[in-house]
Amino acid sequence: MLRDRNLVPLSRQHQHVLALCVRLDRALQTGKMELSVWQAEIHQHFDQEISIHFAAEEKELFPVAARFSELQPLVQELLSEHTVLRELFARAAHGQLDLKTLPIFVEKLAHHIRKEERQLFEGMQRVMSAEELAAVGAALDRELERTTKACMLPKNRKD
């Protein structure tokens, strides 16, 4: 399903994080990792983009999606996953991810993103009107303004 333009800013951020997951997975497969460097990068991603992304989803996206009964269980799952992921990001910030927990972190993060893209976003696009999606998009734009400019879309996007 083609992504509604109002959800594209979140999808682009998802792409950034999936790229990090791929890079981490490849580094894990080589067996040559400097854990402190990777943990610092994970923390930087969380600090500059992901924490704001999670907050925007929790404030603007999830409450709207939860108004639709068929999406309520999914929203609850995603909220629970945010809690687990925040704990893992905090462990990275404190240098507490090891070679055993780092692959778990990568898997959980990638799975979460794919669930949002394939289940939540597509579900929202099926049940919401264009006007409702536009309102969500405007609210998300306001919330995501705090992310780094490299992660922002131009205001006059035509996706």
**pTM of the predicted model, to two decimals?**
0.89
Residue type at 39?
Answer: Q
Long-range pairs for 87-93 at CB < 8 Å and ≥24 separation?
Answer: 89/42, 89/43, 89/46, 89/50, 89/51, 92/38, 92/39, 92/42, 92/43, 92/46, 93/39, 93/42, 93/43, 93/46
Predicted confidence band at 31 (pLDDT cuts at 50, 70, 90)? confident
The per-residue pLDDT for range 63-91, each reduced to its tens digit, is 999 999 999 999 999 999 999 999 999 99
The per-residue pLDDT for range 80-135, each reduced to its tens digit, is 999 999 999 999 999 999 999 999 999 999 999 999 999 999 999 999 999 999 99
Residue type at 74?
Answer: L
Domains and CATH numbers, the chain: 8-147 (1.20.120.520)
Which of 121-146 are b and which e, b meaning 16 or more Cβ less than 10 Å from the residue's Cβ? bebbbeebeeeebeebbebbbebbee
